[in-house]
Amino acid sequence: MSKEARPGSGEQAKQYALEHLRQAILRGEMAPAQRLVENELAEQYGVTRASIRAALLDLASEGLVERIRNRGSRVRVVTVEEAVEITECRMALEGLCAAQAAVRATDEQLDELAELGRAMAKAVANGDPVCYSDLNHQLHTHIREFSGQQTAVGLLERLNAQLVRHRFQLALRPGRPQQSLNEHLAVIEAIRARDPQAAESAVRAHLRSVIDALRED
């Protein structure tokens, strides 16, 4: 979008700034602890400082930004221990979603999961951890959507947004994608077998493995 086409003020401008800031943080373009200077961001996105300030308040409520008294805002730093706690919460919610997906997913959706599993295996075989990390994220997103559990989906979106940096670090760790692949294939197999208990157990086993990996940092 050109600068001329950008909304300068009002709710539309806040939403524009909010989406672009959120994506910049999620993609790692803004580093943890990086200061977020309202004047600079307003100029960069072609909106008012008030729009930037409102967007930063929303991002703070999502856990992506922290506001420091008398010092403005910065990208929130998520410690390893916080990441472990978030993953423990994910364990309960993602286990629920996997169990529900095993019951509710259509045959076509089950085929989509199988295709994702094949793509993940190919990414690991090709030694492409960035592609694998993206497919990993897609798999979890599909399972949540197929579950039909909208409350859990909303909660998980907020929790997962805070883990982006840790997720990429794990994906790049030697040997981690190979281990993670087997765990994800077990989840897919259980859901495709329409076995909710096995699906929940497989997700919990995978996330316990994630917690162990986080604690190795």
Q: What is the pLDDT of residues 93-106, one digit of tens each?
A: 999 999 999 999 99
Of 171 and 59, which is predicted with more confidence?
59
114 and 201 assigned to the same domain: yes
Taking the CB of residue 41, how many other CB atoms lie within 10 A of it?
21
> Over the chain, what is the mean pLDDT?
90
43 and 133 assigned to the same domain: no
DSSP string, 4-51: GGS--SHHHHHHHHHHHHHHHHHTTSS-TT-EE-HHHHHHHHTS-HHH
Half-sphere exposure of 80 (CA within 13 A, CB side): 10
165 and 194 assigned to the same domain: yes
Whether residue 6 is predicted with pLDDT greater than 80 in this model: the reply is no
Which of 17-26, 47-56, 81-90, 190-199 is least confident? 17-26
- Which of 75, 110, 125 terminates a domain? The answer is 75
126 and 202 assigned to the same domain: yes
Rounded CA gap, 133 and 167, in Å? 8
Of 146 and 27, which is predicted with more confidence?
146
39 and 143 assigned to the same domain: no
Mean per-residue pLDDT, 113-131: 95
Of 169 and 136, which is predicted with more confidence?
136
109 and 205 assigned to the same domain: yes
Q: What is the CATH number of the domain that holds 118?
A: 1.20.120.530
As beta bridge partners, residue 72 has: 68
Q: What's the pTM value of the predicted model, to 2 decimals?
A: 0.74
96 and 44 assigned to the same domain: no
Query: What pLDDT sits at residue 23?
Result: 82
- Which of 75, 93, 118 terminates a domain? The answer is 75
| SS3 call for 67 | strand
Q: Which domain holds residue 174?
A: 80-215
Query: What pLDDT sits at residue 151?
Result: 94
Query: What pLDDT sits at residue 70?
Result: 79
pLDDT, tens only, 66-93: 988 878 899 988 888 999 999 999 999 9
Query: What pLDDT sits at residue 9?
Result: 67
10 and 102 assigned to the same domain: no
31 and 94 assigned to the same domain: no
> How many domains, the chain?
2
Rounded CA gap, 132 and 50, in Å? 39
| SS3 call for 76 | coil
Q: What is the CATH number of the domain that holds 29?
A: 1.10.10.10
